[in-house]
A and B are shown apart, each in its own frame.
Chain A
Amino acid sequence: MFDDPELVQSFVEESLEHLADIEQELLLIEQQGEQLDLELVNKVFRAIHSVKGAAGFLGLTQINQLAHSAEHVLDLIRNGQLVPSSEVVDVLLRAADQLRWMIQNVDQSQECDIQELVQQLQQAASGAAGEEAASGQRETTEQRETTEQQNTPGPQNETAQEQPSSQSSDGSASGQEKSASPTPVQSNAAPAQGQTQPSAAGETKAASGQAAQPPSPPAAQKQNGAGGPAPQKPTPRTTAAETSLRVPVHVLDRLMNLAGELVLSRNQLLQQLDTSLVQGGGAIVAGLDRVTSELQEAVMQTRLQPLGNVLNRFGRVVRDLARKLGKQCRLEITGKEVEVDKSIIEAISDPLTHLVRNALDHGIETPEQRVAAGKEPEGRLELRAYHQAGKVCLDVVDDGRGIDPQRLKEKAVARGLISRERAEAMSTREALQLIFAPGFSTAEKVTDVSGRGVGMDVVRSNIERLGGTVEVESQLGQGTTVHITLPLTLAIIPSLIVRCGCQPFAVPQVNIVELVRVRAGERQRRIGRIKEAPVLRLRGDLLPLVHLSEVLWGSQPQATEGPINILVLESGQQRYGLVVDALEDSQEIVVKPLGQHLKGCPCLAGATILGNGQVALILDVAGIAASVQLRNVQQQEAEDAAEEEATAADSQTVLLFTNHPEEYFAVPMGLVARIERVRREQLQHLGGHQVLQYEHDTLPVLQLDRLLQVKPAPETRRLFAIIFRLRRREVGLLVPELCDVQEIPLEVDTESFVEPGVMGSVVVDGRTVRLLDLFELAQKAHPEWFARSPAEPAPEAAPTQYRLLVVEDSKFFRTKVAEFLTQAGYQVRQCEDGQEAWDLLCSGQAEVDLLITDIEMPRMNGFELCRAIRQHPQWSWLPVVALTSLSSQEDVQRGREAGVDDYQVKMDREQLLESVGRLLQQKRRPAPQEEPVPVG
């Protein structure tokens, strides 16, 4: 009967193809229950029938007999004589598994003992209404294990008889381990087998080596579109056969390589021709360019397969596992049609299986637990695939018990993975990622479903090897989401070539968010340090900075005078800036693997050959982040989130000091004229006020404990006088001790501690610091100075005539400034940022005589706003006062260029009022008939 190996081989291929979709279809039939889709049953029936016929022809009696029994059951279902209950479908599924195994091991098929299965099939057929249900449950659990085992390939060295009958839990466990542990069998097997035999079979074998469902050949799947069975309108197999062709995988691989080389050659040619183009050559080159691109794309297409291939198999996995664990779980799969490269499909199967098993084993609770927790008894597991920004995302979502970050931390500490201090400092988010740490398992006890040493660390390393990332999010009691991102293909990637020193490196475009160029002049403002780590200020965000030369070669970044090029990179949830020496052009590069001696380089994802033949190493964006322990920096930032946000939004340099040693105060540094050391004996009382006696003069001084509700200052012999100018005179604030000059975030609490003289409080390094309003303090101490405003340069008109627009993103400053401008008698309108102000000006609705604006603002900053105003035909005359925390010469220069009329320190209300008054006099809205007043 085996005299014609070719015939047998084609039987194997054909039968496996017939059986390919059966599992899915049987599960669908089970779901439909009595609302049977006849066409679906027919399809399964036909498939089994074909196998039966061919087996009979070849004299494979065992296969023939089993197929016959299964066919009989299907016939009964088709005729409505038998309801496809779970038990019936269970037997059918096992029959399909057994058939597949026998076909794959066709030379052993005759020795298989199928009698038990045949009996069960007959039993199912005879018990037309499910009488066996009573005993069925126990039996099923036992039989489950057979199925489990059959899911994995039959051990080649065991005899076939042992295989189906060995139901010991031992055997099942080992079978399971095989399927759970991500062995490299699959990826290696496919190409190797592809060379010795037609690929579809090789592929099928390789794939089914890991799980029961062999994917159909790629071309056939293309036909099906979604890949999964279309239950309502099953596509007849014959159609697919007519329009598709089986191609060995290695041929595709070769095509892929050649296309890659062609792309390379094209690039080289383009570079050569670039400078010396002959007449008309452009069109030829353009044509070549286009064809090459299309060819490359088409070849890539042949390797793309829908993720449904791998996702569909989980219907069975979830069903079987849930029953085994006594849980109820509904599986929802979306995005089966999302296509990715074959190599990725193969490689993602194992990690995904592990995650699904984990979710069922540890995530989803038993029905009782769920009900007790107020959830539906049936758990929900969702597999979600979708495209996002040129990547493929895969989410495994369950609504189970979630992960307790606290327990993770404890476990990690107990296992010595992290120190206790580190654990305490960890954010919830970071703690969750601990499950990916090597040697970490959350299971209380090791079960044979998950948690046998093959942990999440393997899942992560497998995914990262594909150039993907994995992260976990969890809400305790609500569920867990594992988020995987994968590249579409591994072979050709668009990338940006950068230089470090004189060496070129390629950075995958998918990781590049944007390019930032920091000019030498902006450096101080945009690049700072948080606890020693360099950061980039980018639109209100703080981004950790990594110097490429430092991370690659450990060399100190050279202090250059020129601009700094920064790539803003993203990998998973991480974002950072990479400082490179130079940017070159974008190129599509063919990824070449690095040799085995270089597998340990964490920062590299491979190599490529540039148009000029030079080798460029491809940077691994996630690897770089990991190797500089970027997480730490980010975590630090997360901890200081509030502070960080405020720093980014606005900050103010202040002088910190104490009055009573426990009470901290701050005054804006911009207001401080100077600081003097004084002795207590220099103080004198003069007319009810304290003054500081100089040789020839006296200086009025203020003491906090006389003006505010504060604890008294200690009686020290030496004091400091913080001297500031007010009403054209100098005033000193006496303080016993100075602490620091510091840039503090302006997250100002304007609720607590507020009294005249105190603007509000901020928290600096865990201490509450009261921010003083020197103006109000002085007013409190010397109201007579403020009785009239003799010093105020009176505008020609009363202030009320003037309408001021205050533009400031910090609410605190905005209200503060608006408040005292209103007090001074102006009409004030407020805008939150430059864009809002600009929109207002452009709307024609606003009457504005003067604009006061902050510099650093989201959307449109003060400089941009000012430049826009100067360009505007209607508003170019508008006086603009810029506010700054502490004016730097550079900012002032930039402001002048942008057309700012005056610069004022934010907290200095006197100076600001004076400036406003002066500008309102100088610059006035041009009356239509008047000549424009020259800008002063």
Chain B
Amino acid sequence: MMGVAPSLTPAPENTAATEPVVTFYVGPLLLGLPIAQVREINRHLDFTPVPHAPPQVRGVVNLRGEVVTVLDLHRVLGLPAAEQTLQTRNLIVFYQGEPVGLLVDQVADIVEVDPEELNPPPANVQGVQARFFRGVLPMERDILVLLDLDEALSLTAEKGGNSRQENTRS
């Protein structure tokens, strides 16, 4: 995720120095991801459940011939599992060169964010640990929280790894 760091610090030659960010709701949170990290947003929600997967994994979907893992962001952040509604979307992001789907409650908007205006996240936001976040930005109605994709997704990957070890040892 090399692309993330520069997007949050103002590029010297770019005077506007803002970055388009996709915002979406997960439970009580308004989250954001730089648009460069998002491959697409779709409604592929017919997951194939995967046995023995980490609890954060909702299943896999067929994305034009590719088998993509879909994570429930609620579970990743330690919130109760998501309930699917008409607004539920599958946000496909790139994580270490591989597409991963994120289940979100509702996609909100695309906003321009000036990294300079970002505040460091408080110890927790709505009960979710700060380590998942890059920073917060007060908006008109909500507080926009920029998601740290690496942290959010590596956690599950790590857990997956652990469970594998447990399984092979057993």
Alpha-carbon distance between A617 and B96 when the two chains are bound, in angstroms: 23
Q: Is B164 in contact with chain A by the CB < 8 A criterion?
A: yes
Interface size on B, residues (CB 8 A): 35
Alpha-carbon distance between A600 and B160 when the two chains are bound, in angstroms: 5
Q: Is A602 in contact with chain B by the CB < 8 A criterion?
A: yes
Contact A603 B65 (CB under 8 A): no
Least CB separation from B166: chain A residue: A600
Interface 9-residue window, one of A197-205, A313-321, A559-567, A590-598? A590-598
Q: What per-residue 1/0 map shows which CB atoms of A621-643 lie under 8 Å from chain B?
A: 00000110100000000000000
Contact A609 B160 (CB under 8 A): no
User: Which of A593, A602, A614, A627 is most buried by chain B, counting CB atoms within 10 A of its CB?
Assistant: A602
Alpha-carbon distance between A261 and B62 when the two chains are bound, in angstroms: 13
Q: Is B141 in contact with chain A by the CB < 8 A criterion?
A: no
Least CB separation from B164: chain A residue: A600
Interface size on A, residues (CB 8 A): 32
Contacts of A438 in B (CB 8 A): 169
Contact B51 A601 (CB under 8 A): yes
Q: Is B11 in contact with chain A by the CB < 8 A criterion?
A: no
Contact A615 B60 (CB under 8 A): yes
Tell me, rounded to whole Å, the shortest Cβ–Cβ distance linking A33 to chain B.
Answer: 50
Contact A615 B51 (CB under 8 A): no
Contacts of A627 in B (CB 8 A): 52, 167, 170
Contact B53 A597 (CB under 8 A): yes
Contact A594 B52 (CB under 8 A): no
Contacts between chains A and B (CB distance < 8 A), count: 99
- The answer to whether residues A596 and B164 also contact, given A614-B48, A614-B62 and a CB cut-off of 8 A, is no
Q: Is A607 in contact with chain B by the CB < 8 A criterion?
A: yes
Contact B164 A594 (CB under 8 A): no
Q: Is A518 in contact with chain B by the CB < 8 A criterion?
A: no
Alpha-carbon distance between A599 and B165 when the two chains are bound, in angstroms: 10
Contact A597 B57 (CB under 8 A): yes
- The answer to whether residues A600 and B66 also contact, given A595-B100, A615-B60 and a CB cut-off of 8 A, is no
Contact B161 A595 (CB under 8 A): no
Q: Is A488 in contact with chain B by the CB < 8 A criterion?
A: no
User: Which of A438, A597, A608 is most buried by chain B, counting CB atoms within 10 A of its CB?
Assistant: A597
Contact B51 A629 (CB under 8 A): no
- The answer to whether residues A602 and B167 also contact, given A594-B69, A596-B96 and a CB cut-off of 8 A, is yes
Chain B at the A interface: SS class: mixed
Q: What per-residue 1/0 map shows which CB atoms of B45-62 lie under 8 Å from chain A?
A: 000111111101100111
Alpha-carbon distance between A261 and B65 when the two chains are bound, in angstroms: 8
Tell me, rounded to whole Å, the shortest Cβ–Cβ distance linking A189 to chain B.
Answer: 16
Q: Is B98 in contact with chain A by the CB < 8 A criterion?
A: yes
User: Which of B49, B65, B99, B100 is most buried by chain A, counting CB atoms within 10 A of its CB?
Assistant: B65
Tell me, rounded to whole Å, the shortest Cβ–Cβ distance linking A558 to chain B.
Answer: 17
Contact B156 A615 (CB under 8 A): no
Tell me, rounded to whole Å, the shortest Cβ–Cβ distance linking B134 to chain A.
Answer: 21
Tell me, rounded to whole Å, the shortest Cβ–Cβ distance linking B111 to chain A.
Answer: 29
Contacts of A598 in B (CB 8 A): 50, 53, 57, 60, 69, 160
User: Which of B60, B68, B164 is most buried by chain A, counting CB atoms within 10 A of its CB?
Assistant: B60
Contact B52 A603 (CB under 8 A): yes
Q: Is B71 in contact with chain A by the CB < 8 A criterion?
A: yes
Alpha-carbon distance between A607 and B164 when the two chains are bound, in angstroms: 18
Contact A552 B51 (CB under 8 A): yes
Contact B51 A604 (CB under 8 A): yes
Q: Is B157 in contact with chain A by the CB < 8 A criterion?
A: yes
Alpha-carbon distance between A595 and B66 when the two chains are bound, in angstroms: 10
Contact A597 B65 (CB under 8 A): no
Q: Is B119 in contact with chain A by the CB < 8 A criterion?
A: no
Given A599-B161, A600-B163, output 20 extra A-B contacts at Cβ < 8 Å: A461-B168, A552-B52, A553-B51, A594-B67, A594-B69, A595-B98, A597-B69, A597-B157, A599-B164, A600-B162, A600-B165, A601-B50, A601-B51, A603-B52, A604-B51, A607-B67, A615-B61, A615-B62, A626-B167, A629-B170
Residues on B lying within 8 angstroms of A by beta carbon are 48-54, 56-57, 60-62, 65-69, 71, 96, 98-100, 153, 156-157, 160-165, 167-170
Residues on A lying within 8 angstroms of B by beta carbon are 261, 264, 438, 461, 503, 551-553, 592-604, 607-609, 613-617, 626-627, 629
Closest 4 CB pairs of A and B: A600-B164, A595-B69, A552-B51, A600-B160
